[in-house]
Structure 1
């Protein structure tokens, strides 16, 4: 597990996301965990920017998933919000993420407890929000991420 990273501003959250996005490649699965307002969508915007993905990145709460075409890094981003699924794994299966995962980076908000079954190699990003609006991030690497997570600290 990586030490806690403190993000004092939304810009810091974006910058951390850019670092993560720059390290992503096709086949990567990232699960974002944290309460409402913790910064999951802001972090995803940074990830998209780090991947060079263009266009607006917003929470896919009502559509469940948004696909963002490959940008400068050549890797498409699939942004999923599993909040409304309430543990209904059949709806997650309907999204066909296991197929998309081969050629895309997949970021799932509220996905812990369901989406990690898509790949043993995944990164859980835990976000918490403090009273003074700072955020704390803790990374929990699984599978190949146990060695790759160092890329994020070095950046």
Structure 2
């Protein structure tokens, strides 16, 4: 796994998310970590927009799983927010693996997965506040040839 780190401001978040979104392929899992208000949903929205979503993607905080499918996007993607998940039994009920047959997962609050995370997931961690953010990525081998940020 290759580490990556970049400083960015909120204006650049859309560009960064779009670059990652364009690189998404079926079977991919992107884990988005960071404090409340760090910008996880902002990056996920930019990824969805890069795949063709025309409108504003709602935060999946209350729905937990917000699926998107063609023709709305060109790759089926489930945007998942695990903030309200309290136990592993709730995770099983979500059936997240089913989305990976022909699509991708964007998962906020992956810490709630415990040890159930996907080993080949792209792990993104956002820190900072205000307009100064830091993106730290753990880039798995499956992403190394298509990692869009250098």
TM-score (norm 1): 0.85
Change (3 A) 1:129 1:111: same
Q: Which residue of 2 aligns with 1:111?
A: 110
| Distance in 2 between residues matched to 1:141 and 1:116, nearest whole Å | 18
Q: Offset at 1:92?
A: 1.4
Structure 2 residue 11 is matched with structure 1 residue 15: no
* 1:75-126 per-position Cα deviation (integer Å, ceiling 9, x unaligned): 111000001103x121111111111111111000001351773533210100
CA contact (8 A) 1:116 1:122 kept: no
Change (3 A) 1:126 1:151: same
Q: Which residue of 2 aligns with 1:2?
A: 3
Structure 2 residue 139 is matched with structure 1 residue 141: yes
Aligned residues: 149
Q: Which residue of 2 aligns with 1:152?
A: 148
| Unaligned segments of structure 2, at least 5 residues | none
| Distance in 2 between residues matched to 1:116 and 1:140, nearest whole Å | 17
CA contact (8 A) 2:77 2:106 kept: yes
